[in-house]
Homo-oligomer: A and B are copies of this chain.
Amino acid sequence: MVTVSTLKLDKRTYHHGDLRAALIDAGLAGLESTGPERISLRELARTVGVSPTAVYRHFPDKQALLAALGCEALRMLGEAQREASERAGGGIEGFGATGRAYVRFALSHPGLFRLAIAHGPAAVDLASEDDEASRLLVAYAAELTDGSPEAVRRLSLQAWSVAHGLAMLMLDGRLPPDDAIIDEVISERTLFPRPPGASP
């Protein structure tokens, strides 16, 4: 959260104070209850108590607003994953835990998750990303392989794909959002049967 939620001053002030932060806060709140497609620029402005076009003083576009929300959502996702990783104590269990946290975050915050993925900054190289989620991923992949770039890359991509695919399939209703399925699919034991790095 941005913790600037009480910035909606009373109406007597012509200027708002920090409209940008208020809009992002309202957007994050709205994303908790509906999907990204259904949040409206005008309604956001309404809840903040401002005219629709005032938004354009802070974001050139609706897309830009969504992108800002996406960045914040991505940060929250990474934070959830880091907590899960620390709780699991690192190692291969930590790796699995971050994957399961990825899916659980998607299920409990569908709007935020969708926006984090769909409207985040376009990624070029996974290794050079600067968000916490990506950092965690490649760090674990390096730890659990021989460290060669190819191995790190492959494990990162495969792990991310599994977690993301499961999350999206559940969000889109193609698979039931069942906790047991998460544990079944994202399992260090069955997914990567020979712990990488153990044997050459």
User: Which of chain B's residues have a CB closer than 8 A to the CB of A191?
Assistant: 158
**Which residues from 1 to 60 on chain A have a C-beta closer than 8 Å to any C-beta of chain B?**
37
B158 adjacent to A164 (CB under 8 Å): no
Whole-angstrom distance between the Cβ of A171 and the nearest chain B Cβ: 9
Interface size range on A against B: 20 to 34
Q: Which residues of A contact B (CB under 8 A)?
A: 37, 117-118, 120, 122-124, 126, 153-154, 157-158, 160-169, 172-176, 181, 184-185, 190-191, 193-194
Tell me how many chains of this kind the complex includes: 2
Contact A193 to B190, CB < 8 A, known contacts A161-B161, A165-B166, A185-B157: no
A173 adjacent to B37 (CB under 8 Å): no
User: Which of chain B's residues have a CB closer than 8 A to the CB of A175?
Assistant: 123, 126, 157
Give the distance in Å from the alpha carbon of A123 to the alpha carbon of B106 in the complex.
Answer: 19
B157 adjacent to A166 (CB under 8 Å): yes
Q: Which of B120, B162, B176, B184 contacts A165 (CB 8 A)?
A: B162
A184 adjacent to B166 (CB under 8 Å): no
B37 adjacent to A176 (CB under 8 Å): no
A158 adjacent to B154 (CB under 8 Å): no
B117 adjacent to A172 (CB under 8 Å): yes
